[in-house]
A = this chain, B = another copy of it.
Amino acid sequence: MASAPSPKKLKKADSTTHTKLEPRDFDAETQKFLEEIDSCQNEIEALNEQVSKIILKLEQKFNRLRKPYFDKRAGIITKVSNFWPNVFNNHPDLSSLLEEGEEDCFHYLIKLDVEEFEDIKSGYRINFYFGKNPYFENTVLTKEFKLGSLGIPTSLSIPIRWKEGMDLTQTNKPTCTRTGRKRQLEQRSFFAWYNDHIDPTSDTIAEIIKDDLWHNPLQYFLVPNLEVGNGVDNDEDGDEGSNADDDEEEETEVPTPAEPSEGN
């Protein structure tokens, strides 16, 4: 809990919680007390704003400091074959996301990154960079989450230019109508998620990619045989790092060297 950046959900903006205090039905004494409470609230609010600004600047600074390492990492990852499909397949919450055709398509995923907007709080985008592939013409697929003009979170995606007969959203099962986390984690394919903008305030898959997978994909690439420290080692039967299985299948595919992906 200490070191990982805390997940930041994209929430409806509450630009201010300051309440206008106007004379009304209260007796004079109560009115005076309420004004005194209001004055305390103003002091608290001012401190909240002060610390929020400092933390925002810090986060911006550390995003800049981290960037060269993320960039360097991205460059090396392009040289490891099947890095991203293995990461997704080994991730405990994302392993069921990739449907059959999508899994093949993900062999062409050479780079994934998360870009927070400069002010951090107004949004972010997840970029999926694909090499030349039989499925679509795009080289980058982007899903973006941002606070709209009224402070309402919205999401949008770059439309996919599918090649003739290769549209994976046509061959996969349709997005099911269940709601909530269950639906997001178990019931959707990757491209159904990518195209879904119904409830951007609680896009669990985007949050997992942004706050977990993106921060350390290597642990999921390595997970089938190596231990991922989670603070509690109660795994005594020698089945190390088995948090990749999703209580539905045990296939902890060891990445097999294939042809090197196209670098960028």
CB pair B52–A15 under 8 Å, yes or no, is no
CB pair A6–B3 under 8 Å, yes or no, is no
Q: A225 to chain B: which residues have CB within 8 Å? A: 24-25
CB distance from A105 to the nearest CB of B (A): 22
The answer to whether A22 has its CB under 8 Å from any CB of chain B is: yes
CB pair B5–A1 under 8 Å, yes or no, is no
Bitwise, A68-108 to B at CB < 8 A (1) or not (0) is 01101100110111000000000000000000000000000
Segment of A31-39, A137-145, A155-163 in the binding face: A31-39
The answer to whether A219 has its CB under 8 Å from any CB of chain B is: yes
Number of copies: 2
CB pair A232–B150 under 8 Å, yes or no, is yes
Task: Report the interface size class on chain A.
Answer: 35 or more
Task: State the CA gap A131–B161 with chains docked (Å).
Answer: 68
CB pair B45–A3 under 8 Å, yes or no, is yes
CB pair A8–B5 under 8 Å, yes or no, is no
CB pair B216–A20 under 8 Å, yes or no, is no
Q: A41-B73, A44-B215, A150-B231 are in contact. List 7 more A-B contacts (CB 8 A).
A: A17-B216, A19-B218, A19-B222, A19-B228, A27-B257, A37-B73, A47-B65
| CB-CB contacts below 8 Å: A147-203 with B | 147, 150-152
Pick from B38, B51, B80: contact of A62, CB under 8 Å = B51
Task: State the CA gap A33–B51 with chains docked (Å).
Answer: 40
Q: A51 to chain B: which residues have CB within 8 Å? A: 5, 58-59, 62
CB pair B228–A17 under 8 Å, yes or no, is yes
Task: Return 7 A-B CB contacts under 8 Å, by A number.
Answer: A1-B14, A2-B52, A19-B226, A37-B76, A40-B73, A44-B215, A50-B62
Give the B-binding residues of A (Cβ under 8 A): 1-6, 8, 11-22, 24-27, 30, 33-34, 36-38, 40-41, 43-45, 47-52, 54-55, 58-59, 62, 65-66, 69-70, 72-73, 76-77, 79-81, 121, 147, 150-152, 215-216, 218-219, 221-222, 225-232, 254-255, 257
Task: State the CA gap A38–B219 with chains docked (Å).
Answer: 9
CB distance from A127 to the nearest CB of B (A): 18
